[in-house]
Amino acid sequence: MATTEIRIAGFGGQGVVLAGMVIGNAATLHDGKFVTLTQSFGPEARGTTCSVQLLVSLEPILYPYLTTPDILVVMSRDANEKYGKDLKPGGMVIYEQDLLEPARLNHGTRTYGIPATRFAEELGRKMVLNMVMVGFVTAITGVASPEAVRKAVGSLVPRGTEPLNLAAFEKGHEYGKALLANELAPA
C-alpha cells in the first residue's frame, strides 16, 4: 500500500476534525499503520469551510503534508468548490448527497454519495452525521478496519454519546457495504 492521501472537508460544526481524528486513530493505534493528520479552518471555525488532511501508509511517512488527495470526502458545497480541484486524477469523491448534486462533482472518476445528514436525523441527532460519514468512508475505502474504527469512536467521542455515535457509524458502514455489493453484483 502506497501512502493514501485523504482530505475530509465540510463546514465548522459538522465534526470534520473529529471524523479525521477517528479514522487516523483507528488506522494508527488499532490497525498499526503510519498516519499523519493536519487540520485547517478559519478563525471563525463554526460555519466556515474546514478540512482535515490524513496520510495513511504501511511504511513511515517522510513528508507529513497532503499534496494531492486520492480520496476527497466533502460534506458541504463550499468544501467541494474549495477542494474539489485538488483531487488526484482518477481519485475518489465521497459526498453528502443531500447537500451536493452529483453534477457538481466534476472531479474524480469514482463517486459515492450518502444521505449522512438524513441518517443522523433519523438517529435523533444531526450532530452525528460525521460518524455516519466515517462509517461510510470505512466501508468504501477500507483505509481502516471496522473493528479499529469502532474502538476509536468509543475512545474519542464525548463520554455518554458512545452508543449514539456507534449507531451512526454502523448506519453509514452498512449503507456503504450495501452500495458496494450492489455495484459489484452481476448485471
17-56, pLDDT tens digit by residue? 999 999 999 999 999 999 999 988 655 456 688 999 999 9
Do residues 116 and 176 make contact, with C-beta atoms less than 8 angstroms apart?
A: no
Q: In which band, very low, low, confident or very high, does the pLDDT at 104 lie, cut at 50, 70 and 90?
A: low
pLDDT value at residue 99: 84
167-186 as b/e: b if 16+ CB within 10 A? bbbbbbbebbbebeeeeeee
Query: CATH for 4-184?
Result: 3.40.920.10
Cell 471524523 belongs to which residue? 19
Domain ranges of the chain: 4-184
Report the 3 state secondary structure along 66-102.
CCCCCEEEECCHHHHHHHHHHCCCCCEEEEECCCCCH
The reported pTM is: 0.92
